[in-house]
């Protein structure tokens, strides 16, 4: 329980809410709403940081800390909790809208407030940590837009709800001492301090009414609750109680929504508050600046498909002037991301960025040669200055080389290694430190190829570079996992991108005829870069180690594991030309 001075605000039903203030009252007002089984003291470290340039208000929700508690379970209905928040806001900032930051059950009740038309005009923005709107979650569970697997994952993580909702069982556990030990264990699993948690019996038992008054009715009869309040959802990478998709899917219901991951657990607001403070500070500054913000009017079909997993994010994509890179830029922009399109062909990058900005404003283009390490470092510095640390970096730039290895020129070999391998290395070295320093949660996506595990007598040099990218990506995934940055290798098969037209070809007869035959093969395969981009975007959302894109990429990967001899035999066969 906080030891700071406080005052009381009277709720609409007469309950008294203990309110604490810090910082400069002339600055933007932030109201922080805690979850269960916490009280306002859970915010103390984060509030001290934000109070340097904001007016920060916290309060004990009804039944917790120094606030009073209703006698009946109906006093904990979400409507009443939203009214409490409104009462606090009207008391601390009667003339101006406030910025809301909420965690866990605090987020649940704040979602209810920002989706309530009678209250929404009092809120300038809302940052949600590890807490969905229960109606949104109810729709997500019913419709499973992100797959049954994710619904089952969430069901496992939410299994404790049944225990807390069972009359008498959690009370008996707490009074016997078992509940306190279990709570301390949950906090450690959730990223809280590794010290025994001390909670007042009153607060713990009162908070059980939150589950019993609201969960069943919201999950079984969810309504559609929209909001025009700008929302950012922050998802810890190691949240023991929530999967990302529940939170990102809220983008269906918000006109202005952005979703960001950061490295930490459920109680990171207390154990690792710096990434949270950084995102809150940037979001509030953006809203306070009055800059126009994109409003994404998605159709119902688009909303179900896109959710909000990339909304408001910044994605840097190399090789974005054409092929998969360009189509992936379009796909991510359509899903709400701001794109930094990078290509050695400056005008092509500018065209990509211009088209992306028509969908999600704020995209930009940079002409950079990925083989130039200094230029890539300069790109990273520019991105940091303009956007902050990116949420995603896609090292996609690549070139093709075909023909017998012994007939390839030294120049061709050096060029394919420089672009395909060193381009990835330079991209990782330029951006990964920034992503780690900013608090983690970002994604690095490296474009390898099915050729990385399917050797060919005609693509030896190309296969070698892509195998190196795959091996590097797997190693980096292990190295950066503990620092909150995920790494994924994308392995396309035969994608009709036009890469053949720009490939270096030697030892296969007349070059133009060879390229025509190869292009015909790719066109007959019929797998478009647009389709590949959709597959990559859908897959990357779930953070896989590798994404085989086409059927031949999947089959080849399976064969490389099940029957290496068959793959070696394939390497001896000349592809049809």
So which residues are the catalytic ones?
A: 462
Nearest-CA neighbor of 57 among 32, 76, 83? 32
Query: Which secondary structure element, helix H or strand E, spans residue 29, and what is its range?
Result: strand 29-33
Which ranges constitute the DSSP H helices of 238-290? 244-248, 268-271, 273-289
Report, in angstroms and rounded to the nearest whole number, the Rg of the chain calculated over CA atoms.
26
Tokens of 239: 């949240």
DSSP per position, 430-462: HHHHHHHHTTS--EEEEE--GGGTS--TT-HHH
Tokens 């133009």 belong to 512
Nearest-CA neighbor of 448 among 498, 485, 487? 487
Phi/psi zone of residue 400: left (φ > 0), alpha (ψ -120 to 50 degrees), beta?
A: beta
Q: Omega of the bond prior to 52 within 30 degrees of 0, cis?
A: no
Nearest-CA neighbor of 540 among 261, 302, 352? 261
Give the three-class secondary structure for 65: coil
CA 46 to CA 268: how far, in whole Å?
Answer: 10
Q: How would you list the strands of the sheet with 257-265, edge to edge?
A: 7-10, 16-23, 55-59, 29-33, 98-103, 123-129, 231-238, 257-265
Q: What angle do CA 97, 101, 103 make, to 5 degrees?
A: 150
* Strands 443-447 and 392-395, bridge-based pairing: parallel
């Amino acid at each position: 329980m906080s030891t700071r001075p406080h005052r009381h605000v009277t709720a609409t039903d007469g309950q008294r809410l203990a309110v604490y203030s810090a910082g400069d009252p002339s600055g933007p007002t932030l109201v922080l709403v805690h979850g269960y089984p916490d009280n306002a003291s859970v915010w103390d470290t984060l509030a001290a940081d934000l109070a340097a340039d904001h007016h920060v208000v916290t309060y004990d929700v009804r039944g917790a800390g120094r606030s009073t508690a209703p006698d009946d379970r109906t006093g904990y209905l979400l409507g009443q909790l939203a009214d409490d928040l409104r009462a606090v806001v009207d008391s601390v900032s009667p003339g101006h809208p406030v910025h809301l930051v909420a965690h866990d059950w605090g987020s649940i009740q704040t979602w209810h407030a920002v989706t309530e038309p009678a209250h929404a005009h009092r809120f300038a923005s809302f940052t949600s940590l590890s807490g969905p709107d229960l109606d949104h979650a109810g729709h997500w569970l019913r419709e499973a837009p992100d797959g049954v697997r994710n619904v089952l994952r969430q069901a496992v993580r939410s299994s404790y709800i049944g225990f807390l909702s069972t009359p008498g069982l959690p009370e008996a556990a707490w009074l016997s001492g078992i509940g306190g030990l279990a709570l301390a264990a949950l906090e450690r699993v959730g990223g809280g301090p590794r010290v025994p948690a001390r909670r007042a019996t009153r607060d713990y038992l009162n908070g059980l009414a939150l589950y019993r008054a609201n969960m069943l009715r919201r999950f079984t009869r969810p309504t559609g609750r929209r909001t025009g309040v700008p929302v950012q959802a922050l998802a810890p990478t190691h949240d023991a109680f929530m999967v990302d998709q529940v939170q990102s899917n809220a983008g269906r219901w918000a006109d202005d929504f952005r979703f960001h991951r950061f490295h930490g657990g459920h109680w990171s607001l207390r154990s690792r508050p710096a990434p949270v403070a950084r995102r809150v500070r940037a979001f509030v500054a953006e809203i306070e600046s009055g800059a126009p913000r994109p409003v994404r009017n998605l159709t119902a079909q688009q909303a179900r498909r896109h959710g909000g997993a990339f909304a408001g994010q910044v994605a840097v994509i190399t090789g974005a002037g054409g092929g998969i890179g360009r189509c992936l830029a379009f796909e991510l922009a359509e899903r709400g991301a701001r794109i930094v399109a990078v290509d050695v062909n400056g005008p092509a990058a500018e065209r990509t960025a211009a088209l992306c900005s028509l969908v999600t404003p704020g995209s930009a283009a940079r002409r950079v040669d990925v083989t130039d390490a200094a230029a890539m470092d300069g790109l990273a510095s520019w991105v940091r200055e303009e956007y902050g640390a990116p949420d995603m970096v896609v090292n996609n730039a690549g070139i093709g080389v075909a023909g017998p290895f012994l007939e390839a020129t030294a120049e061709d070999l050096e060029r394919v290694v420089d672009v395909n391998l060193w381009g990835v290395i330079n991209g990782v070295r330029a951006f990964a430190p920034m992503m780690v320093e900013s608090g983690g949660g970002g994604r690095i996506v490296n474009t390898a190829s099915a050729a990385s595990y399917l050797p060919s007598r005609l693509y030896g040099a190309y296969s070698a570079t892509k195998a190196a990218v795959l091996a590097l990506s797997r190693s980096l995934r292990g190295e950066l996992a503990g620092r909150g940055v995920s790494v994924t290798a994308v392995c396309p098969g035969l994608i009709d991108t036009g890469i053949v037209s720009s490939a270096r070809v030697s030892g296969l007869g007349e070059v133009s005829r060879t390229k025509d035959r190869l292009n015909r093969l790719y066109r007959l395969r019929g797998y478009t870069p647009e389709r590949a981009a959709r597959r990559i975007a859908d897959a990357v959302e779930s953070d896989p180690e590798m994404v085989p894109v086409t059927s031949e990429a999947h089959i080849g990967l399976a064969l490389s594991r099940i029957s290496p001899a068959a793959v070696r035999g394939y390497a001896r066969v000349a592809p049809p030309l």
